[in-house]
Amino acid sequence: MAQLWGGRFTKETDQLVYNFNASISFDQKFYKQDIRGSIAHVTMLASVGVLTEEERDQIIDGLNSILNDIESGAVEITSEYEDIHSFVEANLIDRIGDVGKKLHTGRSRNDQVALDMKLYTRDEVVEIKDLVKELMETLHGIMKEHIDTFMPGFTHLQKAQPVTLAHHVGAYMEMFKRDYSRLNDIFDRMNYCPLGAGALAGTTYPLDREQTASLLDFYGPTLNSMDSVSDRDYVIELLSALSTIMMHLSRFSEEIIIWNSNEYKFVSIDDGFSTGSSIMPQKKNPDIAELVRGKTGRVYGALTSILTTMKGIPLAYNKDMQEDKELTFDAIDTVKGCISLFNGMMKTMTFNKPQMEVSAKHGFTNATDAADYLVNHGVPFRDAHGIVGQLVLLCIDKQIPLDDLSLEEYKKISPVFEEDIYEAISMKTCVEKRNTIGAPGHDAMEKVIAINDAYLADL
Ligand code: ARG
């Protein structure tokens, strides 16, 4: 047990209490951020005259040598320290002696941990943005390639109207664009520096908080010291954004699983991204998509957990807040893994174009267009709806699509039909006629793809 406190205690901490209280097993994850924050802190302390330049340099050299040694494996972070802050400070004192004891001047672990957590999550926001961008690039490529690949569009998981693969994937593209912009918003809102808030009420030293903030690439210092040490809104916002990303990935995964099923055969997942069965030799399972869908619950759990932890905490810092870390780290790592794996699966997946088109044809997805044909020939829509309903019944009976019904049969149910009905309900016409922006028609999709081209080039 190596602790930063103990002066007012007359007894050793019970070992179980020590273990229960300690956070080093997980907060060692932000050793880099902790050292970076300390370097900024002492740089500022020297500039306001609290430390001499020589003391500052000695401390910074010591901190950098700790960083190098952790990275090279020369020094190991062990559970003999309560948390990463204690580890770094104790190690510094071992290395440079008494001057190391000045590192914590004008600082509390409360503002220190608030800073470390913010620096860590801020770095992760940037990494997650990059991963979302890579995924969007993959989806954009699929959209460009499949602008004329027809498939059924669904409502209630029933075939509804024909769309294209580009249009279907384009829906997810819009979701991930919003996810990306949510991450930007979070970055902007969280990017204020809590260091200098002290334990809760600032410090008596003439700290230059603007300088510390700028050394650490924040927009500026936070404006209330009690809020600074007890704000975890940015963790909640991030976990909420991550939950939304997972919800999108999970919906998409669910579709891939359906599309990959023996019944649909719309897609074929690459062997490198599939798994087999230990007993059934014929099996090729979509485990990646299933795991992404499954891990979504874990990320939602993290969000629910932190919301619950925070709801009853009076100002300012309370130890409950230490609970923000493990679940946030786990959620971040989970989401990063899921985006990468999902992206790899999408990149290598092949689309069965003929099967998608046949499926669209055989699901009466052109029935609305047949009704519209009648409307264009003067039949009121409600009557047209009824007439096409009868045609559909006939086709179900004959097990054929509307496209294969003879003109004679059409005319038997309504004399309004002429030879041009076939053209009017062809898959191509059905999609092509839907050309307002946002619709699946070729020209409308070209416009959206051009907008997305510019969007991606600008990220
Ligand atoms: N391990 C603590 C946490 O993660 C660091 C802050 C401790 N501060 C304190 N006053 N006990 O929240």
Task: Determine the average pLDDT of the residues in 29-53.
Answer: 98
* Rounded-to-integer distance, Cα 187 and Cα 125, Å: 7
What pLDDT shows up at residue 92?
Answer: 98
Rounded-to-5 percentages of helix, strand, coil across the chain: 65, 5, 30
In this predicted structure, the answer to whether residue 276 has a pLDDT above a threshold of 90 is no
Q: Among 8-17, 196-205, 353-362, 394-403, name the one with the lowest average pLDDT.
A: 8-17
Q: Whose CA is nearest to atom 12 of ligand 1?
A: 322
Q: Could you give the residue numbers annotated as active site?
A: 156, 277
Most ligand 1 atoms within 8 A of CB, residue of 83, 117, 323, 327 to mutate: 83
50 CA to middle of ligand 1, Å?
25
**What's the rounded mean pLDDT across residues 130-138?**
98
pLDDT tens digit string along 223-251?
999 999 999 999 999 999 999 999 999 99
Whether residue 87 is predicted with pLDDT greater than 70 in this model: the reply is yes
Q: Provide the ipTM.
A: 0.96
pLDDT at 280: 82
Q: Answer whether residue 305 shows pLDDT above 90.
A: yes
Spacing of C-alpha 392 from chain mean position? 43
In the predicted model, is pLDDT for residue 341 greater than 90? yes
Report CA(329)–ligand 1 centroid distance (Å). 17
220 is written with which tokens? Answer: 């500026």
Would you say residue 7 has pLDDT above 90?
Answer: no
Query: Domains along the chain?
Result: 15-105 (1.10.275.10), 110-197+225-352 (1.20.200.10), 359-458 (1.10.40.30)
Spacing, Cα 111 to ligand 1 middle (Å): 9
pLDDT at 2: 67
Mean pLDDT of the chain: 96
Please list, in sequence order, all residues whose beta carbon lies within 8 angstroms of the beta carbon of residue 341, skipping any fewer than 6 positions away.
Answer: 273, 288, 291, 292
Tell whether omega for the bond before 114 is within 30 degrees of 0, i.e. cis. Answer: no
User: Tell me, what's the pLDDT at 361?
Assistant: 87
CB 257 within 8 A of CB 286: yes
**pLDDT at residue 157, as a whole number:** 95
Model pLDDT, residue 1: 63
**Reported confidence tier of residue 431, pLDDT bands at 50, 70, 90:** very high
Residue 174: which pLDDT band, with cuts at 50, 70 and 90? very high
Structure tokens at 357: 């088109």
CB atoms under 10 Å from CB of 393, counted, come to: 11
pLDDT at residue 158, as a whole number: 95
pLDDT at 200 over 70: yes
Structure tokens at 358: 């046949």
Q: Work out which ligand 1 atom sits closest to the CA atom of 321.
A: 12
Of the residues 319, 325, 327, 328, which should be mutated to test ligand 1's pocket, given the most ligand atoms within 8 Å of the CB? Answer: 319
pLDDT confidence band for 12 (50 / 70 / 90):
confident
Is 51:42 a contact under the CB 8 Å cutoff? yes
Mean of pLDDT values over 428-444: 96
User: To test the ligand 1 pocket, which listed residue (113, 117, 318) has its Cβ within 8 A of the most ligand atoms?
Assistant: 113
Cβ–Cβ under 8 Å, residues 293 and 250: yes
Contact 192/222 with Cβ under 8 angstroms?
yes
Give the model's pLDDT for residue 4: 75
Region 272-279: what's the mean pLDDT? 85
Pocket (CB within 6 angstroms of ligand 1):
23, 27, 83, 109-110, 113, 317, 319, 321-322
Q: Give which of 375, 388, 346, 393 is closest to 146, Cα–Cα.
A: 346
Residue 317 CA: which ligand 1 atom is closest? 10
Taking CA atoms only, the protein residue closest to ligand 1 atom 11 is 319
Q: Cα of 24 to ligand 1 centre, how many Å?
A: 11
